[in-house]
C-alpha cells in the first residue's frame, strides 16, 4: 500500500499570507495526486486533481505542483474562508490513501 505523509500537521497563518503544504508518497505515483479542503462538520471539497489541475469553481489562489513522490499545495493569499483542514490523496493505485491532514489555523 502507498503511504501519504503531509507536513506540517498544523499551520498558523494570517489573512493575506502565502502558505505551502507538502505531501510525500512512499513510492512514485506519477501525477495521480489530489487535494481536498475540509471544514468542521462538512464533507471534503475537491480542489485539485492530477497534481496541478484546478477543479472547476476553485479560486485561482489555489495551486498544486509536483510529480513522482513530492507534491505541494500553495495558497497564494489566504482568505478567511481558507482556514480549514487540507488532505492529499493518491489515486495511482488502490487502496487509495490519504495524508493525515494539515490544519490551517488563524494566527
Partner 1 sequence: QLHLQELGPGPVKPSETLSLICTVSGGSISTSSYYWGWIRQPPGKGLEWIGSIYYSGNTDYNPSLKSRVTISVETSKTQFSLKLSSVTAADTAVYYCTRHGAAYGGIDYWGQGTLVTVSS
Q: Is 100 in the site for partner 1 (CB under 8 A)?
A: yes
Exactly one of 21, 66, 101, 104 binds partner 1 (CB under 8 A); that residue is 101
CB nearer partner 1, residue 32 or residue 71: 32
In 3-state terms, the chain is what percent helix, strand and coil (to 5)? 5, 50, 50
Cβ at position 82, least distance to partner 1 in Å = 19
Q: Is 97 in the site for partner 1 (CB under 8 A)?
A: yes
What track of x and - describes contact with partner 1 for positions 11 through 50 (by CB under 8 A)? ---------------------x-x-x-----xxxxx--xx
Contact 31, 50 (CB under 8 A): yes
Helix (H, G, I), strand (E, B) or coil at 33: strand
Largest CA distance in the chain: 38
Q: Is 95 in the site for partner 1 (CB under 8 A)?
A: yes
Angle ∠(44,11,103) on CA atoms, nearest 5: 20
Amino acid at each position: 500500500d502507498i503511504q501519504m505523509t503531509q507536513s506540517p500537521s498544523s499551520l498558523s497563518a494570517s489573512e493575506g499570507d502565502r502558505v505551502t503544504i507538502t505531501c510525500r508518497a512512499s513510492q512514485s505515483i506519477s501525477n495521480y495526486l489530489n487535494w481536498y479542503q475540509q471544514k468542521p462538520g462538512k464533507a471534503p471539497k475537491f480542489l485539485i486533481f492530477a497534481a496541478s489541475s484546478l477543479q472547476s469553481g476553485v479560486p485561482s489562489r489555489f495551486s498544486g505542483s509536483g510529480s513522482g513522490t513530492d507534491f505541494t499545495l500553495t495558497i497564494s493569499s489566504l482568505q478567511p474562508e481558507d482556514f480549514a483542514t487540507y488532505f492529499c490523496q493518491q489515486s495511482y493505485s488502490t487502496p487509495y490513501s490519504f495524508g493525515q491532514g494539515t490544519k490551517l489555523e488563524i494566527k
